[in-house]
Amino acid sequence: MLKINNLCAKVGDKDILKGLNLEVKPGELHAIMGPNGSGKSTLAAVLAGRDSFEVTDGSVDLDGIDLLDLEASDRAREGVFLAFQYPIEIPGVSNLNFMKAALNGKRSHQGLEPIKAKDFLAKVKECSSLVELDGQLRDRSVNEGFSGGEKKRNEIFQMAMLEPKLAILDETDSGLDIDALRVVSKGVNAMRSSERSFIVITHYQRLLEHIVPDFVHVLSNGKIVKSGGKELALELEEKGYDWLKEPSHDTSNA
């Protein structure tokens, strides 16, 4: 499914990812944890094709396609979905029109006709109920005036609509109260299948109680420094990250 090999990326003169390796098989859910500034969100952005980051080395292969060769929109059409940490507002563009444009973009890429209005609405109904997103929310402008929780639910709604191969959730739990967290997790769990892979980026173990990972990785200073099963998350919760940091960083703390 996804093979990340020696991925290096920088923004400006600052190296952020420094040789990251990760393999995700179909149906697996990998959690990526790590301290602030370790490169978690950069990894998400680089995979999604944000051009403010420069990839200096390495490769990313999604089912035989070199992702790094593709424009962001084509990566999305190939099935990469990023749930944003801070979803963007687009005033005046209705959520539904936005989704229709997205869905039809993907369909045209697959050589399919634009979706029929009836089918589209049925799909909207199904996916919005998944995250308890009421009708009024769907018709509002994209994320405009949404509360933090509504924005995150909208991300999961969009994910359900687009049925990605690989979903990357960037700190989806940030800013969520416990009820919203439950709703969002329920949506994500409903989406899990043997063909769909997830990379879940999070700070806290809390989310992983609801969305149980197959693997947990610790990202520090641009590299994965430790990998394990779901129990690793608990260990991190208890011990923090300092014990995993590379020696070069330990000196700065001394």
Residue numbers of the site for another protein (CB under 8 A)? 48-52, 71-73, 75-77, 81-82, 84, 87-93, 97-99, 101-103, 105-106, 109, 141, 158, 162
* CB-side neighbour CA atoms (13 Å) of 96: 17
SS3 59: strand
N-term to C-term CA, the chain: 42
At closest approach, how far in Å is the CB of 101 from another protein?
A: 5
At closest approach, how far in Å is the CB of 76 from another protein?
A: 4
Nearer to another protein, 72 or 225 (CB): 72
Nearer to another protein, 71 or 250 (CB): 71
Nearer to another protein, 35 or 87 (CB): 87
- 79: left (phi > 0), else alpha (psi -120 to 50), else beta? left
Nearer to another protein, 21 or 94 (CB): 94
At closest approach, how far in Å is the CB of 18 from another protein?
A: 24
Contacts 24+ apart (CB under 8 A), 48-54: 48/72, 48/75, 48/76, 48/80, 48/82, 48/168, 49/75, 49/80, 52/11, 53/9, 53/10, 53/11, 53/16, 54/9, 54/10, 54/11
What is the rounded (10 degree) CA torsion for 242, 244, 246, 252?
10
d(CA 246, CA 143) in angstroms, rounded, equals: 39
At closest approach, how far in Å is the CB of 70 from another protein?
A: 11
Phi, psi of 219 (to 5 degrees): -100, 130
At closest approach, how far in Å is the CB of 238 from another protein?
A: 35
* Residue 138: CB atoms within 10 Å: 18
Nearer to another protein, 115 or 225 (CB): 115
Nearer to another protein, 11 or 90 (CB): 90
d(CA 83, CA 113) in angstroms, rounded, equals: 26
At closest approach, how far in Å is the CB of 87 from another protein?
A: 7
At closest approach, how far in Å is the CB of 77 from another protein?
A: 5
Q: The tokens of 182 are what?
A: 């439950």
Nearer to another protein, 82 or 184 (CB): 82
